[in-house]
Structure 1
Amino acid sequence: MKSCDMGLDIWKPAKLAGVREVAMRHKLSVGDNGEIFMLARAEHAAVGFAIAITGLLSVARWAAEKLDAPELAVDLAAEVQPYIVARNPRARFELKPHVLGASRTDHVFDFRHGDDLIDVITASPQATGGVPRKVSDVQNGPFIGGGSPLIIVDDRLDKRAKAENEIAILGAVTRAMPFSVLMAVRH
């Protein structure tokens, strides 16, 4: 991907320096012609891919801000997906799995990865509110099929304290973790 393909005039040193700064935060490099790239060993390809996607999205957000473009909606589950897969690239992966709860209510999770039924939420009381009922219904029903709920709470962008509060609440009924911990995969 080239930075100039986003509409940025990267030939101005300040703009190119800005792109490089954002890219470097995500272990990406920017070439002399504006190309953005990352090198990773074959055995770390899944992790490298996840990091590259996050980096490219960060550069795109930075570019949109510099171009005064309207803010785009964030698909949080799509941003988390490469990190989920990178945990174990060989594990069974399914988008939007349906699980019946004890009440026979059909619950949809964002992902099934191995035995984990995963939902991704923002760090807000509104997002957390419905999770305990959903998780309890699924965990107490006979239809979970060996799965175990895992809630990932977005703690990026200065939301760490909020995320910790929401994770503490969710921890009473299920497993929960901050997105930053998932992003901190080891090479």
Structure 2
Amino acid sequence: MGTPFSFDDGTAICLYVINRAPLVEINDEALALHHLSGMGLDPWNPRRMTALRERIHPFGVTLCNNGALSLLTQETQLGWHVPRFISAELAVAQWAREQMGGTEESRNLAEEVEMYLRAWRPHADLIRHPRQRGISGHEHQFDFLQNDELIDVITPHHNATGGLMRKLVDVLNAGDESAPKVRVIVDDRTDPARAGIEMQIIASLAKAMPLSKLLDRVHSGSA
């Protein structure tokens, strides 16, 4: 069942209604948690599973060990419980937003950087939200693909860096013939020192680039 709601990156929130006579089950078949994995978060960590269970408990929804959100109800009560289930999914999205250090801010930053990337390499193809499969089998989403380079954009926040590093480890060790090229652009305009620390961590796995450097290249017209 499709819904008019989505995660911050536009991925639709879907649910399934399954006959479990004499009850019916509303279930998302772990789509939400797999989506969080694709964002670079690790929702399977026991501590995070506990945090997510606390977020969805007020809506009467259970987080199963396989990662699925589930709610059992009478068929006659579906009209009441489907909105509650969707509210639980939105609570998961809110939790992810907090873990990433503020997704609204991150989304606005990505939109800003997209403009600079197009100006920096005006003749290069730029694809939004490409996906790359990791060694775990999960597909991870990046902000952009420009030419053959995956690009992520983050704010200088330890949660954002932690999620990114888990994603990079999974993707870069997928065992393909050649590991993908990855560039991470870090917004260093408000806290250069913090950004520098995060970039040192990121540089162990990918090319780390301060946003100020991208702006310099755009203004100078250098590739």
Regarding TM over 0.5, the answer is yes
Task: Tell me the distance in 1 between the aligned counterparts of 2:176 and 2:141.
Answer: 13
What is the alpha-carbon root mean square deviation over aligned residues?
1.8
Distance 1:153 1:89, change over 3 A: same
Distance 1:167 1:182, change over 3 A: same
After superposition, the C-alpha distances for 1:107-152 in whole angstroms (9 at most, x for unaligned) are 0000000111111000111111111121121111146976311111
Task: Tell me the distance in 2 between the aligned counterparts of 1:113 and 1:181.
Answer: 17
Q: Given the alignment of the two structures, is residue 94 of structure 1 paired with residue 94 of structure 2, yes or no? A: no
Q: Counterpart in 2 of 1:38? A: none
Size of the aligned set, in residue pairs, is 114
Q: Counterpart in 2 of 1:121? A: 154
Structure 1 contact 96–112 (Cα < 8 Å) conserved: yes
Structure 2 contact 128–144 (Cα < 8 Å) conserved: yes
Q: CA deviation at 1:172?
A: 1.2
What secondary structure is seen at the aligned counterpart in 2 of 1:130? helix
Q: Counterpart in 2 of 1:164? A: 196
Q: Counterpart in 2 of 1:173? A: 205
Task: Tell me the distance in 2 between the aligned counterparts of 1:82 and 1:146.
Answer: 27
Identity percentage of aligned residues: 39
Q: Given the alignment of the two structures, is residue 79 of structure 1 paired with residue 112 of structure 2, yes or no? A: yes
What secondary structure is seen at the aligned counterpart in 1 of 2:193? helix
Tell me the amino acid that sits aligned with residue 182 of structure 1. Answer: L
TM-score, normalization by structure 2: 0.48
Q: CA deviation at 1:175?
A: 1.0
Distance 1:115 1:184, change over 3 A: same
Tell me the amino acid that sits aligned with residue 180 of structure 2. Answer: G
TM-score, normalization by structure 1: 0.57
What secondary structure is seen at the aligned counterpart in 2 of 1:126? helix
Shift >2 Å, 4+ stretches? 142-147
Gaps of 5+ in 1: 1-72
Q: Whose strand fraction is larger, Structure 1's or Structure 2's?
A: 2
